Amino acid sequence: MSELLDLVPRHWLWVTTLISILVALALLLLRQRFATQEQMTAVVASVSDLAKRLDGEVDRVDQRAGVFERRTDLIEERMRHMPTSDDMKALQAGLALQNASIEKLNAKSESHTGQLASIADQLGMLTNHLLGRGER
C-alpha cells in the first residue's frame, strides 16, 4: 500500500484523472439509476392507469354479458312456454274433436228446431180448433 502511495506524487495527474473518471462514472451510473427509477415510476403509473381502464372495460363487458344472460334467460323461459309441434298436434286434435261435437250439437239443434216447429204448428192448429169450437 505504501508503494501505491509513493506513486501518487509522481503520477498525480494520472491518478487524479483516473479518480475523476471513476467519480464521473459513478455519477453517471447514479444518474442513470435515478432516471431509470423515474422512468419506472412513470411506467408503473401508466400501467396502473391502463389497469384501471382495463378494469372499467371488463366491468362494461361484464354488464353487457349480464344483459345478454338475462335476455337469454327470458328467451329460454318463453321457449319453455311455447308449444312444441307435439303440443300443436294435440291441440289440433282437440280442436277437431270440439268441432265434431259442435257439429253434432248443431245437427241436434236443427232437428230439435224442426221438431219444435212441427209442435208449434200442431199447437197452432189445436188452438185454432179449440177457438173454433168455442165460437160455436
Q: pLDDT digits over 34-76, tens only?
A: 767 777 788 778 888 888 888 888 888 889 888 889 999 998 9
Q: Which of 2-6, 44-48, 124-128 has the lowest mean pLDDT?
A: 2-6
pLDDT in tens, 13-25: 767 788 888 888 8
Q: Is residue 103 part of a domain?
A: yes
**62 within 8 A of 54, measured Cβ to Cβ:** no
pLDDT in tens, 100-111: 999 999 988 888
Quote the CA–CA distance of 19 and 13 in Å, as a whole number: 10
Note the pLDDT of residue 82.
Answer: 82
For residue 96, pLDDT over 90 is answered with yes
* 106 class by beta-carbon count within 10 Å (0-12 exposed, 13-18 middle, 19+ buried): exposed
Residues in the chain: 136
Q: Is residue 65 part of a domain?
A: no
Q: Is residue 101 part of a domain?
A: yes
The total of other beta-carbon atoms located within 10 Å of residue 15's CB is: 14
Q: Is residue 54 part of a domain?
A: no
Burial of 69-99, coded b for 16+ CB within 10 Å and e otherwise, reads eeeeeeeeeeeeeeeeeeeeeeeeeeeeeee
Q: Is residue 7 part of a domain?
A: no
The domain tally of the chain equals 1
Name the band, by pLDDT with cuts 50, 70 and 90, for residue 27. confident
Residue ranges making up the domain that contains 114:
85-136
The model's pTM is 0.37
